[in-house]
Amino acid sequence: MTQSDWKNFRIEIQGGVATVLVDVPGAPVNTLTEGVGAEFRAILESLERDPAVRAVVLASGKKDGFVAGADIEMLRDVGSAAAAEKLSRDGQEGFDRLEKYPKPVVAAIQGACLGGGLEWAMACHYRVAANDRKTQLGLPEVQLGVIPGAGGTQRMPRLVGIATALDLVLAGKTVKPKKALAIGLVDESVPAPLLLTIARARALALADGERLRPAASGVVDQLKKDPQATLQKLALEENFLGREVLFRKARRQLLEKTRGHYPAPVAALDAIQAGVEKGMEAGLEPEARLFGELAVSPVAKQLMGIFFATTALKKDNGTSDPSVKARKVESVGILGGGLMGSGIAYVTTNAGIPVRIREKDDAAVARAFAAVAGIFDGRVKKRSMDRLEKLSRMRLLTAGTGWEGMERVDVLVEAVFEDLKLKQEMLRTFETLNPRGIFATNTSSIPIGDIASASGHPETVLGMHYFSPVNKMPLLEVIVTPRTADDVTATAVALGKRQGKTVIVVNDGPGFYTSRVLAPYMNEAVMLLLEGASVEDVDGALTGFGFPVGPMTLLDEVGIDVGAKVAKVLHGAFGDRMSVPEAMGKVLESGRLGRKNGKGFYTYGDPKKKKVVDATVYDALPGGRRRKKIDREEIVERCVLQMVNEAVLTLGEGVLRSARDGDVGAVFGLGFPPFRGGPFHWIDAEGSARVLERMRRLEGRLGLRFRPAPLLVERGGGGRTFHG
């Protein structure tokens, strides 16, 4: 067998061990395709016959990853449920053969080992993982609307136990090597440079008939070590009744969480349960069948669409010219270390970039430090980071009340109070100190052009609009003016990606993209309250549609005062169709700011108790405490169409660069239900002609604010879609 025999693999045979390196040509990461599977099978067959080979190590030939999963384009293009089911059965069969292979096979895992990649590794006889930052293992299939289809739903519970398998598979969670070792997903976690050496040694030891895994210690020993976990495991997993309880509870929690919108986690649960109760073969059958059905389902199509959009955004420099290069960013300054500034400092130091914060007084400096440290502490507590890492990140942070250091930063992110004059003053001072530096404002509502008008170098000014809480929210909206230079845009985009964000670039305008499409949606929700709807009905209807929280809860979280401020700006910009219902003023006057002062549409007493609607809020609204029943469909139709139509307006006006960005922005920034794909995918799925007709009907009934966007008229008239 020679090197050139294989397209996707390299093989090195030495000292009785064949190291099989997966290296799919021309691709940055390995993915599993039918071709890779067939070739691997042929390799195993030929190695089986080779007397010089006593054992096999499976590893990756890529620097940065093991195998990232099945090729999702292949999945997207699969023609029918039957074809997808066949893909699954072929995968199952291939890994079954691997598991039964007569020579020991050890997986040496470094980098992403996900989906089909982990299923591959789980079918090996022993797993060694490199203990580094890049290595992660998991079965994230449900996030794409499918389930593990190559034995994953069967091998995972056998390796890690039922409860842990449910926890990982139903949510598509990934784990780091340390955790993977603790739960039994890998057998060893070793320093990265030793990975192949150790894997080869273990492969030979297995060939010599050594038992490498510590023999399962007796129940008494386990009880001594971890009494609670052992008792729980004995009570729940080791007997029929206990398992019933476990599965029933998981199913109930799942239905509560997904509200029936996401069929994949339920299917994964079905396949796991079948296998646990009736054995591997009985589990593989539903796994393949459900995989096939799900792969061609509308939900999977939308979730895969979002995946492709974010992948495309990763490669996008944010400008129309792909040759534009980002400037080097070696340090970042932040003005204002409040809620947003401290969050931005966290994501930046976490990316390994030194940060200097400027605050207005010593007390605020101390608060900023404590806030950043607090976010890192949370991670240490959750064990997603250790103390040493935290210290090394915190060492990148300095802060003070003066401007020292700002003359050297490559990018300055401004996050002081929302006040045009103050922001302009910050910009002027920065420019005199650092004329080359990039000034990025995190304003939530002031047009970037207004701030940039105070600048002597407007080409270096743009918006970097982060979302709260910055450490959790995945989106960054970069806002450019007609004068922003392309390399400045590319630099902000590249910085955002290093901070772990999905970045969209939009053109300047009131409310940019996200705040602008949110405003009419929120206004409509308030309008419904004024017509007599209850807070529960409005929130319930929209969470029923799939938003993570309803609009009234969102307003409480953002701050009713903040919401009112943004709404006012947009009313000023767009006139009557965005007029803010007057009663909102009354709600504010009654001293309600939302969660931050413990008084909003809901009561915020005991954090352990479920929050309830504060009925006294109705005293400020027409109709008082006697609310009217308004249909769920009416609530959803009006609020969602407001958001979606506004999104089409922003595309037509050129605020958005593409429908893709609008979908990603709404899903990651506003919680638009991912399984509906975003506003533009939603219109395409509903049919543009039908959406247009529904808008027209509402316009007739409720007036101007439902006038369809010209681009919707155009697309709807011809029944054309927004995505190709």
Catalytic residues: 477
Count of CA atoms in the C-beta half-sphere (13 A) of 47: 27
Three-state secondary structure call for residue 130: strand
User: Which span (277-285, 359-367, 595-603, 621-629) binds ligand NAI, by CB under 6 A?
Assistant: 359-367
Classified as helix, coil or strand, 355 is strand
**Phi and psi of 641, rounded to 5°?**
-65, -35
- The Cα–Cα gap between 652 and 354 comes to 40
Q: Is 475 in the site for ligand NAI (CB under 6 A)?
A: no
CA–CA gap between residue 544 and residue 266 (Å, rounded): 18
Q: Point out which span in 139-147, 241-249, 267-275, 329-337 binds ligand NAI (CB under 6 A).
A: 329-337
Within 429-448, the residues that bind ligand NAI by CB under 6 A are 442-444
Give the nearest distance from C-beta 385 to ligand NAI in angstroms. 24
- In the bound state with ligand NAI, the residue whose beta carbon lies nearer, of 337 and 674, is 337
Q: How far apart are CA 272 and CA 113, in angstroms?
A: 21
**Helix, strand or coil for residue 561?**
helix
Q: How far is the CB of 164 from ligand NAI (least distance, A)?
A: 36
Is there binding between residue 515 and ligand NAI (CB under 6 A)?
A: no
Do 99 and 154 form a contact (C-beta atoms < 8 A)? no
Partnered with residue 335 across adjacent β-strands are 358, 414
Least CB distance to ligand NAI at residue 511 (A): 12
Nearest CB to ligand NAI, comparing residues 199 and 345: 345
Residue 511 binds to ligand NAI (criterion: CB under 6 A): no
Contact 491, 462 (CB under 8 A): no
Report whether 319 contacts 482 (CB < 8 A). Answer: no
Min CB(570)–ligand NAI separation in Å: 14
Query: Half-sphere exposure of 499 toward its Cβ, with a 13 Å CA cutoff?
Result: 32
Nearer to ligand NAI (CB atom), residue 152 or residue 341? 341
DSSP 217-277: PPHHHHHHH-HHHHHHHHHHTSSHHHHHHHHHHHHHHHHHHHTTS-HHHHHHHHHHHHHHH
Is residue 335 a contact point for ligand NAI (CB under 6 A)?
yes
Q: From the CB of residue 685, how many other CB atoms can be counted at a distance below 10 Å?
A: 14
- Report 33-92 residues binding ligand NAI (CB under 6 A): none
Using rule CB under 6 A, residue 415 touches ligand NAI: yes
| Smallest distance, ligand NAI to C-beta of residue 369, A | 12
Q: Per rule CB under 6 A, is residue 364 in the interface with ligand NAI?
A: yes
Identify the residue whose tokens are 């230079």. 485
Nearest distance from C-beta of residue 341 to ligand NAI, angstroms: 6
Residue 115 or 337: the one with the smaller Cβ distance to ligand NAI is 337
Contact between 360 and ligand NAI by CB under 6 A: the answer reads: yes
The answer to whether residue 359 forms part of the interface with ligand NAI (CB under 6 A) is yes
- Residue 358 engages ligand NAI in binding (rule: CB under 6 A): yes
Using CB under 6 A, which of the segments 194-202, 226-234, 405-413, 460-468 binds ligand NAI?
A: 460-468
Q: Is 499 in the site for ligand NAI (CB under 6 A)?
A: no
| CB-based closest residue to ligand NAI | 338
Secondary element (H or E) of residue 22: strand 17-22
Q: How far is the CB of 647 from ligand NAI (least distance, A)?
A: 19
272/152 Cα distance (integer angstroms): 9
The footprint of ligand NAI (CB under 6 A) covers 335-341, 358-360, 364, 415-418, 442-444, 465-468, 558
